[in-house]
């Protein structure tokens, strides 16, 4: 008898779903720089969007107390009620948003919050509209859920922001989601209240569209005027506001993201999460209550530090011949247009054909890890995360300049 297993490669044991999926480019680049570092190469990794600061003391203390108080059991799927009350208060205090605790679901990072949403909202062929550039995992999650990514193009000259006219032009009968981040990963752009109002002017005409506003960089906003689209009366009953502790509180490893959503959608996300992860970590949830309280001094200090670093990197990038740079108003990224380097040759005589190759060249020869813009939907740019000390950033910018200016 034919041995079927002999013919089976491990590759075709995998589902089509995962085969069609791209791995996270940000995590992949971070893994590559770790590999080079393990070989003894001194790589500066500006690839991962992760604060280099330690988690503030009062939050760590709350976690230690939670361990001692035996918070070691399964929690309610959407999170402890007192945590959801704290989030409800935070939404009111900081964003003037009204979400009751029943409308709040906490998850294993905002990444899971977003994945829950895609799974709950999208049927095969439904359309999710996003301004490009967008954060790397949005597109992968939308496609995994069967949805179709509809892009609105922007560029550095429009500060990577989309207009109401552009949005209206791509809306169809299949439009289900409008998703954006402000401050934006990867561009650092911040939508003003007036710009959001213009988008609302369009969205209010299309009640089938759920608006997902990713505000995870809320606290890293150099304009000091964070605006939430959920504040607008005309659309507030179908805005999902996504946030989390990773960026503003330097808690990437703790894994807590959350959302305020219409009740029907919060219930659906709870249902799906109940089958996937049950809930996020009990200790993290107790620590989150401390993080979301009124003591925000450590967060403000981190923001001030990011502002200094931004100024430093902005100055250095502007000195690199051929790079087009803007002045991002939030998050901790630069997203320069490096298209003038495509088609140039390396000192070894190899032609750089696209942004992926340019980023690999910067990694292998310049020993600086950045992320190609194609992962975020724009192939003219690359992303630099400046969540590093000024000393490290100065050296990284020196290397980047030398590496780029050596291309001819």
What does the binding site for ligand GLU look like in residue numbers (CB under 6 A)? 24, 26-27, 48-50, 111, 136-137, 185
Site string for ligand PMP, 21-50 (x = CB under 6 A): ----------------------------x-
Interaction partner, residue 392 (ligand GLU, ligand PMP, none; CB < 5-8 Å by kind): none
The interface with ligand PMP within residues 248-277 (CB under 6 A) comprises 252, 257
CB 170, min distance to ligand PMP, A: 21
| 246 contacts ligand PMP (rule: CB under 6 A) | yes
**By three-state DSSP, how is residue 217 classified?**
coil
Distance spanning both ends of the chain, measured CA to CA: 62
Interaction partner, residue 216 (ligand PMP, ligand GLU, none; CB < 5-8 Å by kind): ligand PMP
The interface with ligand PMP within residues 334-363 (CB under 6 A) comprises none
CB under 8 Å to 40, separation ≥6 — which residues?
none
Would strands 368-369 and 210-214 be described as parallel, antiparallel, or unpaired? Answer: unpaired
**CA-to-CA distance for 318 and 172, rounded, in angstroms?**
41
Nearer to ligand PMP among residue 108 and residue 339 (C-beta): 108
Interaction partner, residue 48 (ligand PMP, ligand GLU, none; CB < 5-8 Å by kind): ligand GLU
Token duo for residue 53: 């600061």
Token duo for residue 399: 């290397």
**By three-state DSSP, how is residue 248 classified?**
coil
CB 376, min distance to ligand GLU, A: 9
**By three-state DSSP, how is residue 113 classified?**
helix
**CA-to-CA distance for 264 and 225, rounded, in angstroms?**
30
Interaction partner, residue 110 (ligand GLU, ligand PMP, none; CB < 5-8 Å by kind): ligand PMP
Nearer to ligand GLU among residue 59 and residue 216 (C-beta): 216
Nearer to ligand GLU among residue 103 and residue 112 (C-beta): 112
Interaction partner, residue 384 (ligand GLU, ligand PMP, none; CB < 5-8 Å by kind): none
Site string for ligand PMP, 208-227 (x = CB under 6 A): ------x-x-----------
| 244 contacts ligand PMP (rule: CB under 6 A) | yes
**By three-state DSSP, how is residue 343 classified?**
coil
Nearer to ligand GLU among residue 136 and residue 359 (C-beta): 136
| Span of 8-16, 108-116, 162-170, 318-326 interacting with ligand PMP by CB under 6 A | 108-116
**CA-to-CA distance for 391 and 309, rounded, in angstroms?**
10
Strand order of the β-sheet with 175-181 is 104-107, 257-260, 239-244, 210-214, 175-181, 127-131, 148-152
Q: Count each helix (H run) and each strand (E run) in the chain, helices first.
A: 14, 12
**CA-to-CA distance for 27 and 32, rounded, in angstroms?**
9
Q: Quick check: 332 and 49 in contact, CB under 8 A?
A: yes
- Sign of torsion over alpha carbons 117, 123, 129, 134: positive
Q: Quick check: 380 and 387 in contact, CB under 8 A?
A: no
Interaction partner, residue 27 (ligand PMP, ligand GLU, none; CB < 5-8 Å by kind): ligand GLU
Nearer to ligand PMP among residue 110 and residue 283 (C-beta): 110
Select from 51, 79, 101, 109 the one that contacts ligand PMP (CB under 6 A).
109
Compute φ and ψ for 400, nearest 5 degrees.
-60, -45
**CA-to-CA distance for 21 and 99, rounded, in angstroms?**
34
Interaction partner, residue 214 (ligand PMP, ligand GLU, none; CB < 5-8 Å by kind): ligand PMP
CB 32, min distance to ligand GLU, A: 14
The interface with ligand PMP within residues 153-212 (CB under 6 A) comprises 181, 185
Interaction partner, residue 24 (ligand GLU, ligand PMP, none; CB < 5-8 Å by kind): ligand GLU
Token duo for residue 85: 């009350």
- Residues at the site binding ligand PMP, with contacts judged by CB under 6 A: 49, 109-111, 135, 181, 185, 214, 216, 244, 246, 252, 257
């Amino acid at each position: 008898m034919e041995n079927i297993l002999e013919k089976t490669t491990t590759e075709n044991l995998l589902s089509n779903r995962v085969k069609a999926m791209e791995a996270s480019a940000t995590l992949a680049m971070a893994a590559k720089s770790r590999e080079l570092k393990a070989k003894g190469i001194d790589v500066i990794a500006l690839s991962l969007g992760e604060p280099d600061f330690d988690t503030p003391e009062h939050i760590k203390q709350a976690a230690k107390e939670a361990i001692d108080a035996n918070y070691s059991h399964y929690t309610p799927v959407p999170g402890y009620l007192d945590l959801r009350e704290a989030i409800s208060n935070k939404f009111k205090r900081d964003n003037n948003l009204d979400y009751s605790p029943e409308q709040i679901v906490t998850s294993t990072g905002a990444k899971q919050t977003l994945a829950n949403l895609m799974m709950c909202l999208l049927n095969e062929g439904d359309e999710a509209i996003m301004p490009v550039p967008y954060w790397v995992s949005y597109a992968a999650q939308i496609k995994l859920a069967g949805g179709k990514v509809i892009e609105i193009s922007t560029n550095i000259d429009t500060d990577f922001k989309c207009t109401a006219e552009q949005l209206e032009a791509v809306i169809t009968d299949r439009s289900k989601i409008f998703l954006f981040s402000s401050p934006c990963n990867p561009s650092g752009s911040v939508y003003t209240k007036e710009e959001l109002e213009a988008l609302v002017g369009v969205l209010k005409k299309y009640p089938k569209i759920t608006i997902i506003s990713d505000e995870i960089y809320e606290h890293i906003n150099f304009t000091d005027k964070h605006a939430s689209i959920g504040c607008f009366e005309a659309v507030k009953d179908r805005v999902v506001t996504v946030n989390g502790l990773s960026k503003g509180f330097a808690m990437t490893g703790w894994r807590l993201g959350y959302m305020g959503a219409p009740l029907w959608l919060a219930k659906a996300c709870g249902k799906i999460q109940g089958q996937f992860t049950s809930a996020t970590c009990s200790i993290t949830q107790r620590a989150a209550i401390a993080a979301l309280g009124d003591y925000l001094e450590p967060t403000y200090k981190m923001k001030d530090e990011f502002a200094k670093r931004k100024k430093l990197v902005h100055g250095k990038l502007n000195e690199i011949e051929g790079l087009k740079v803007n002045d991002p108003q939030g998050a901790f990224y630069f997203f320069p247009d490096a298209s003038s380097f495509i088609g140039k040759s390396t000192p070894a005589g190899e032609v750089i054909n696209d942004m992926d190759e340019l980023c690999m060249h910067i990694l292998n020869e310049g020993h600086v890890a950045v992320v190609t813009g194609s992962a975020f939907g724009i192939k003219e740019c690359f992303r630099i995360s400046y969540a590093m000390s000024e000393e490290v950033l100065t050296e990284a910018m020196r290397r980047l300049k030398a590496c780029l200016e050596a291309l001819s």
